[in-house]
A and B are shown apart, each in its own frame.
Chain A
Amino acid sequence: MVIIFGIYCLVMTVPNGKESQFLLRSRPPSEKLIDVGFKNLAIATASMVAIVLLSIVAIVFAGALESMGKYGLHFLFTSNWNPVTNEYGAFTAIYGTILTSLASLCIAIPLGVGTAIFITENFIPQIFKNIIGIFIELLAAIPSVVLGLWAIFVMEPFLRPILNSLNHYMGWIPLFSTGASGPGVAPAILILSIMILPIITSIARDSLNQIPSRLREAAYGVGATRWHTIFNVLLPAAVSGIAGGVLLALGRAMGETMAVTMIIGNSTNFNISLLAPGNTIASMIANQFGEADGSQVSSLMYAAFVLMSLSLLVNIIAQWLVKRLSLKY
């Protein structure tokens, strides 16, 4: 039926009965139907994302309600986590999450953006750029449990004397106020840096590559040096892309579970020092959920809710920042 109607349309549109070699001057109805169908399919799949996201938030929130009622905002600021006496405060984990993710960003941003600059500006021949690029992508492909193992057996023993001498010489700084005797926050920060480095590098590289070359020429054309061009023209032009990458990395760092659990020590006692064992929300949930019941489950849900809110907050702040910082070209 549809086809017959389509042919009818075609015949109708042949001008003056003159033989036309273009058969698709008007589109057959079947094709228009496909258009409509595709549009609806796209709407359906797009709303799936929203539905899944909202239901996750709703379920976590529902699970957390009991604990929220019981501990309120106190939960965020006390570090007493005791399933025996049913007292819960997530401050240690919240502090650990924020500290490890921000500190790993502080390490990975300069390294990653620096690498990206190095492989996009013509410092080295193309072949080396490609090789470095491949290695960075390979770094991203290492499973986090493998990185965790490496951290436990190789990195941490290697770092321990260094961390201890940090404590020895700079122990007056609260962040270095304890000795290092095994898993702790500092190695977790380093392992997180390694994990987020490829994200920052590859996104920064892509956004630097996307800068139109006429902008680069403009800067060199008025006599700018390479460094001046990079810091005053290229980086500002790429900042929104780079900030996007940093955000992704921050999300990854805040939520990363496996490698962190293996190396951070999972201590629920608060200690301000980087060298002592600590905890993050993600690793705490992973560690305790198996044996938890009753109000412990609810408290873990509460912690999870805090983690989600933190990511959301970071996203909002970052988007605002990107809007402020980015140059339009």
Chain B
Amino acid sequence: MSQKVQMQNNKYKPESMISLEDVTIRYGKYEAVRNIYFDIPKDRVTALIGPSGCGKSTVLRAINRMNDLINGCSITGRIVFNGVDLYAKEVDPVEVRRKIGMVFQQPNPFPKSIYENIAFGARINGFTGDMDELVESSLRSAAVWDECKDKLKESGCSLSGGQQQRLCIARTIAIEPEVILMDEPCSALDPISTLKIEETIHELKKHFTIVIVTHNMQQALRVSDMTAFFNAEQLDNGSGGKVGYLVEFNKTDMIFNSPTEKATKDYVSGKFG
């Protein structure tokens, strides 16, 4: 399987930003995903889709070393970012996260003022410019400026869910990472907020490489250029556990209109998942 996927990758060679090479991730002894290969192209939106529990979040979190925070989580294989293996000994995970930002499934603003929510990360990253300007421009890019401009001193948690999520996007934009990872950013939101965030993503992809996990196939179709379809298969050791793997990685319209794998076809046509 992985062999075939790798060959497919070679057909499409936009400049790649991140390559996953034979990535296997375990929680303790339990193997969550196995032998993942794919290349994330620069300045494009790459969507990760698949049924829940197949390891999309796990793969995404591996890309900015968020899994380091989980006890017992280990990874083999390589994730190469700008030519550097992110898991090499001399790589500092803190620096990785400054270059590869993340927006989480649940909006998680800091319990600080809206202004501080943006300024906090910027300050950590040693921002030397005009902070007021940065706050405004980040909130504007995340399409939440109009709702926030009159209450920058109020707590970020006083916003609605959709506004909080856009605040979190703004916070991530503010540190100007090269890549933005989004883990089902709209799953806790209403349709209107979802649309707004998708518009934001369209704006952002001019300047950022975006990887987005979504369980919403329409969303993948709307926002992404490339799509990776993950699935989980029963382990053959009889333990009843499942292991996630990459079924197919291709241009989004190819995945949705003429998938090569049967599982992909079944999934995108809504037969399971």
Q: Which residues of A contact B (CB under 8 A)?
A: 122, 126, 212, 214-225, 228, 232-233, 236-237, 327-329
B95 within 8 A of A: yes
| Contact indicator A327/B168 (Cβ below 8 Å) | no
Kindly state the separation between the CA atoms of A216 and B68 in the bound complex, as whole angstroms. Answer: 13
Q: Please tell me if the beta carbons of A223 and B121 are within 8 angstroms of each other in the complex.
A: yes
**B109 and A218 within 8 A (CB):** yes
Query: Does B256 have its Cβ within 8 Å of any Cβ on chain A?
Result: no
Contact of A217 among B98, B104, B120, B171 (CB under 8 A): B104
Structural contact, B94 and A215, CB atoms closer than 8 A:
no
**Complex Cα spacing A232 to B69, Å:** 18
Which 7 pairs from chain A and chain B are nearest by CB?
A: A222-B121, A223-B98, A327-B111, A329-B111, A214-B108, A218-B108, A221-B102
Complex contact A219–B104 (CB within 8 A): no
CA of A237 to CA of B110, assembled, Å: 9
**12 A–B contacts from the bound complex (CB under 8 Å):** A122-B69, A214-B108, A217-B108, A221-B101, A221-B172, A222-B97, A222-B175, A223-B125, A224-B120, A225-B124, A327-B110, A328-B111
- Beyond the given pairs A218-B109, A222-B171, A223-B97, 7 more chain A to chain B contacts, judged by CB atoms under 8 angstroms and listed by A's residue number, are A218-B168, A220-B97, A221-B97, A222-B120, A223-B124, A225-B124, A328-B111
List B contacts of A329 (CB < 8 A).
111, 157
Is the CB–CB distance between B108 and A215 below 8 Å?
Answer: yes
Distance in Å from the Cβ of A319 to the closest Cβ of chain B?
19
**Inter-chain CB contacts under 8 Å: number:** 72
Given A126-B71, A328-B155, A329-B157, A221:B111 Cβ within 8 A: no
Known: A214-B106, A218-B168, A223-B94. A232 touches B120 (CB 8 A): yes
* B interface bracket (residues with beta carbon within 8 Å of A): 20 to 34
Q: Which one, B111, B124, B172, contacts A228 given CB within 8 A?
A: B124
Q: CB of B251 within 8 A of chain A? A: no
Q: Which of B64, B97, B108 has the most CB of A within 10 A?
A: B108
Q: Which residue of chain B lies nearest to A225 when distances are taken between CB atoms in the complex? A: B94
Identity of the chain A residue whose Cβ is nearest the Cβ of B69 in the assembled complex: A220
Q: A216 to B70, alpha carbons, bound, how many Å? A: 12
In the bound complex, do residue B157 and residue A216 qualify as a contact, i.e. CB atoms below 8 Å apart? Answer: no
Q: Give the Cβ gap from B97 to chain A, nearest Cβ, in Å.
A: 5
**B80 contacts the other chain (CB 8 A):** no
| Interface flags, B10-38, vs A, CB<8A=1, else 0 | 00000000000000000000000000000
Are A224 and B94 within 8 A (Cβ)? yes
Residues of A with C-beta under 8 A to B217: none
Instruction: State whether the Cβ of B66 lies closer than 8 Å to any Cβ in chain A.
Output: yes
CB–CB A122/B71 < 8 A: yes
Which B residues touch A228, using CB under 8 A?
Answer: 124
Is A219 a contact of B98 with CB atoms below 8 Å? no
B69: chain A residues at CB < 8 Å are 122, 216-217, 220
Task: Closest B residue to A125 by CB, please name it.
Answer: B71
Q: Is the CB of A327 within 8 A of B172?
A: no
Cα-based distance from A214 to B172 in the complex (angstroms): 15
> Within the complex, what minimum Cβ distance (angstroms) separates A114 from chain B?
21
A207 to chain B: closest CB distance in Å? 14
B94 to chain A, nearest CB (A): 5
Q: Which residues of A contact B112 (CB under 8 A)?
A: 327
- A235 smallest CB distance to B (angstroms): 12
**Given A126-B71, A214-B104, A217-B66, are A222 and B124 also a contact pair (CB < 8 Å)?**
yes
Nearest chain B CB to A227 CB, angstrom units: 10
Report Cα–Cα, A215/B120, bound state, in Å.
13
Q: Closest CB-CB distance, A124 to chain B, in whole Å?
A: 11
B64 neighbours in A (Cβ, 8 Å)? 221
What are the residues of chain B within 8 A of A122 when measuring CB–CB? 69, 71
| Contacting residues, chain B, for A212 (C-beta < 8 A) | 108
Whether B157 lies near A233 (C-beta < 8 A) is: no
Given contacts A221-B101, A221-B102, A328-B157, contact A233 B121 (CB under 8 A): no
Distance to closest chain B CB from A120 (angstroms): 12
Enumerate chain B residues within 8 angstroms of A237, measured Cβ to Cβ: 111
**A237 vs B155: C-alpha distance in the bound complex, in angstroms?**
13
**Residue on A nearest B96 in the bound complex, by CB:** A223
